[in-house]
Amino acid sequence: MTDDDVDETARTLAERALELPELAHARTVAAYVSVGSEPGTPALLDALRARGARVLLPALLPDNDLDWGEYAGPGSLTRVQRAGKIALLEPSGARLGPDAVTAADVILLPGLAVDARGMRLGRGGGSYDRVLARLERAGARPRLVVLLYDTEVVAHVPAEAHDKPVHAVVTPSGVRRFPST
């Protein structure tokens, strides 16, 4: 895709995501800053903030777990390069701890694909597996939403016993919901 295509897709994706009732009523949203070829999230992050939502962004810890910090606009991000990993934009402010995510009403998850069951294929680092396990231990039940390109919604992805289905996937062409578990 050209840079213009990527920008247009990000705007469309943000519009689709903002139509979700879950995001319209969310007080706290845990999200992420897109990297590489991921569907763009900056416009969505800014729109959520403009609506008054508290937006939490992850900071990768050495063990691949995630700490969280509050997004306060593009100037609140720092580029972080870790050995052998892709550079990430992380919140530059105070760290809130790994458990901060349990306060989220909605969690926007990155992914490579989602299948017809709502199973998400991640990048394999286990960061979000830890987040989902932490939510379960805390009894937190936020809505889980994945942002993808249309071609990344597929018939089947491999899943293991610890994998959890998401509630919805947002693509530029629309929203697909999955049965709650």
Question: Would you list which residues are annotated within the binding site for ATP?
Answer: 120-128
Residue 45: strand, helix, or coil: helix
| DSSP state letters, 110-178 | P-SEE-TT-BEE--SS-HHHHHHHHHHHHT---EEEEE--GGGB-S-----TT--B-SEEEETTEEEE-
Q: Which residues are CB-neighbours of 97 under 8 A, at least 6 positions away? A: 67, 68
Q: Is residue 133 within 8 Å of 65, Cβ to Cβ?
A: no
Residues in binding site: 33, 38, 120-128
Q: Residue 23 CB: number of other CB atoms within 10 A?
A: 22
Residues in binding site for substrate: 33, 38
Q: Is residue 168 within 8 Å of 56, Cβ to Cβ?
A: no
